Chains A and B, each alone.
Chain A
């Protein structure tokens, strides 16, 4: 026969044990939060960036877990769990701090690199520009020197020519050397007189002193007497004769041309003997390099 009193006592004891047993297995909020915080921290950037802080959090959490296992839900265990939760947050905060510091350092380094690069580019551009300016300055100096030399030679040639021929500076045509037709040729002929050759020798010497880049045109002119066609041919042949002689005296053939204008460009009145004498002429036009 079972004693009902003993059964009842056993049931009450079982109920009490069950109640206390369940209470001991339900973790308090502090421990739940600590576990959650630690799991989150250990799977985030803190694992790489703040391992020491994470280790501290783990150690505290382990102590809380051990206390919970050993003594159940006690105030001291809750304090340990609370501290473990905060330590996990500290690890996360340290990791975020390091990330922010890294971002700042990288940004500053990148900015410095950009500035150095910019400075180097500017410096290189400056050197290049200086080089270009120096080249331009050298070219200008050379050109200036060439022009001054050309002007000096032209002045010297003009001075030499002025001793035995009429020399004028025409702003459009250039330097015009006028030789009287009577001095160079017999009437209606285009062969140079011996005296003309002497004079042309001096002209050729003066012209060789001219700027090597200048060009020359020998122009033949007649008075208005006689037929125009004959005068045209005469002026052309006289111009060519003078050109040929000058070439034979050292003037480069590609620098000098000959053209006959006949009576078309008189410089004096053909009605008078003096005027006609002035119109019978050969002009050597020296054009400087443009």
Chain B
């Protein structure tokens, strides 16, 4: 009986020691959430090319929080690695969408002015 109690105490201490040795990844969570916010500010949630990655980031952040709540900080940290990458990709794709739209506008404007000039010269 005494031996059993010592064994249980040992397992408990070992478990507590592991959890305590891996701190909550609060900075990584903040980084991932910051990337999410930036992506949303650039309209990633409304741009087809970026929507999927932002959604994945949202789900991964929630999954990481659940793991932290459950005490598995290590697992949470690695899930946040995915979340941050997805959020940053959503941000980059939103920027790409904007840059391509601006470039298309510039080309269209230039072509339009060129055509107007050509037509005007013929009159």
Contact = CB atoms under 8 A, between A and B. Distances in A.
B106 interface: yes
A80 B95 CA distance: 25
B106 A107 contact: yes
Given A90-B88, A111-B113, A79 B82 contact: yes
A217 B92 CA distance: 97
A118 B103 CA distance: 23
B117 interface: yes
Contacts, number: 77
A90 B92 contact: yes
B109 interface: yes
A79 B117 CA distance: 56
Interface residues of A, number: 25
Interface in A57-112: 75-76, 79-80, 82-83, 86-87, 89-90, 93-94, 96-98, 100-101, 103-104, 107-108, 110-111
Interface in A101-135: 101, 103-104, 107-108, 110-111, 114, 118
B107 A83 contact: no
Contacts of B22: none
Interface in B90-123: 92-93, 95-96, 99-100, 102-103, 105-107, 109-110, 113-114, 117
A80 B103 CA distance: 35
A100 B93 CA distance: 12
Nearest to B113: A111
Contact of B75 (A75, A108, A114): A75
Nearest to B111: A107
A100 B88 contact: no
B103 A93 contact: no
Given A98-B99, A101-B99, 20 more contacts: A75-B75, A76-B74, A79-B79, A83-B84, A83-B85, A89-B89, A89-B92, A93-B89, A96-B96, A96-B99, A97-B92, A97-B95, A100-B99, A104-B102, A107-B106, A107-B107, A107-B110, A111-B113, A114-B114, A118-B117
Interface of B: 53, 74-75, 78-79, 81-82, 84-86, 88-89, 92-93, 95-96, 99-100, 102-103, 105-107, 109-110, 113-114, 117
In the A-B complex, list the 3 residue pairs whose CB atoms are closest, starting with the nearest: A86-B85, A100-B99, A79-B78
